[in-house]
Amino acid sequence: MKIERLLFPTKFGEVDLNSLESLSVLKDAGLKEVILFYVIPREEVGFVPYGGYLKQEEERIREEVRIRFEDWQKSLSAKGINSRIIIEVGEPVPNILKIAEKEKVNLIVVGKKKKVAHDGPFVGSNTLQIITRSKIPTLVSKYLVQFEHEGESVTRTNDAIFKRPLLATDWSEPSERALELLISLNGLIEKAFVCHVIGVKISKSIDKTELHRIEKESKERLEKYCERLKFAGIAAEPHLGAGRTIMEIIRISRDVKASMIIMGTTGKDRLHDFFLGSVSHRAAGMSELPTLLVP
C-alpha cells in the first residue's frame, strides 16, 4: 500500500492551499500525482424553477475554478508533483467517491481545512458520508483547528501531520492495512505510536484474571506492531489504554503529542452507522488531529 495518487477535492476554503502544500511531503513517500477536484453543486446551475439549466453560469464557474487550480498547480509543480484538474457538475459525496474509484487514487483528502468554531464535531455531514462509504484510505484534513482543552481555547495548525502519527488498532484487518500504510510513509515519520484501548464493555463484562490475560495479550500484540514498524526503520512506541475508547485515543494522542491519528475502519450495518457511527468515524469527528482512515 503506497500513496502514489491523491484526490484533493476542494471548495477553495481559506487554508485549503496550505493544507495541500502540507501534503507535498508525500512526494518523498512516493506521491506522483495530485488530482485537484471541484464539484459544481447541481443546484447552483441546474433545475432553475421552470427555467432549465444555467449553462453560462456553469461555464463561468468552470473558468474561475480552472484559473484558481492552475495557480495551485504552479505550487505543486515547484515541488515536483504532477497534477491534473477535474471539474464536474453534480453532488459532492457521490462525485468524489466515483472519481476516486475511476482515477484509482490511493488517498482522498476531505474535510474542512479550517475549523475554528466550537460548535460541533470536526467533520461535517458530507465528510462523514465520504469516510463512511469510501473504500479508499481517506484523510480528514484539519489544517487549522480551534478547540477546548482543559478549559482553554487552543488554536492548532496541523502542518506536519506525518511526523508523529498515532496508529489506533483494534487488531482488525483494516488496522493491519493501516499499519502497512503507515510503513509506506517511512521517510516522513519521526516517531510513530501504536495504541490499543481495552474498552469499557470488555472490562465490565469479565473477571480480573481474564482482564489481566487480555492486557498481557494486548501488550504483546502492540509490541509486535512496533517491531514491524522498527523493522521498516520507524521508531515506534506502544501505548495501552482502558476505558471509553474514543476518549482514550484522544487522551493518548495528546499525551504523546501525536500529529495525526491513523485507524482502520470497518463497515458497520446501516442501522448501527445511522445511530452510532463507528469508533473511527467518531474519532475523526472528535479529535482535533487529522485522521487517516483505512478501510
84 binds other proteins (CB under 8 A): no
Nearer to other proteins, 55 or 104 (CB): 55
Nearer to other proteins, 51 or 120 (CB): 51
Taking the complex as a whole, the smallest distance from the CB of residue 5 to other proteins amounts, in Å, to 23
H or E segment and range at residue 99:
helix 92-102
Q: Which has the closest alpha carbon to 106: 129, 144, 138?
A: 138
273 binds other proteins (CB under 8 A): no
Helix-strand-coil split of the chain, %, nearest 5: 45, 25, 30
Contact 144, 114 (CB under 8 A): yes
Q: Which has the closest alpha carbon to 25: 191, 145, 142, 159?
A: 159
Among positions 4, 21, 33, 91, the unique one binding other proteins when judged by CB under 8 A: 91
Nearer to other proteins, 89 or 211 (CB): 89
Nearer to other proteins, 128 or 181 (CB): 128
92 vs 21: CA distance, rounded Å: 22
136 binds other proteins (CB under 8 A): no
Query: Distance of alpha carbon 276 from its chain centroid, rounded?
Result: 19
88 binds other proteins (CB under 8 A): no
Among positions 2, 15, 24, 46, the unique one binding other proteins when judged by CB under 8 A: 46
Contact 256, 164 (CB under 8 A): yes
151 binds other proteins (CB under 8 A): no
- The stretch near other proteins (CB under 8 A) out of 12-20, 27-35, 89-97, 111-119 is 89-97
Please list every residue from 94 through 123 that binds other proteins, using CB under 8 A: 94
Task: Print the SS3 string covering 73-89.
Answer: HHHHHHCCCEEEEEEEE
Would you state the cell numbers that stand for residue 202, as one nine-digit string? 470488555
13 binds other proteins (CB under 8 A): no
Q: Which has the closest alpha carbon to 45: 84, 74, 88, 79?
A: 88
Taking the complex as a whole, the smallest distance from the CB of residue 238 to other proteins amounts, in Å, to 39
63 binds other proteins (CB under 8 A): no
171 binds other proteins (CB under 8 A): no
267 binds other proteins (CB under 8 A): no
**DSSP SS3 for 242:** strand
135 binds other proteins (CB under 8 A): no
* Residues in contact with other proteins by the rule CB under 8 A: 42-43, 45-55, 57, 89-91, 93-94, 133
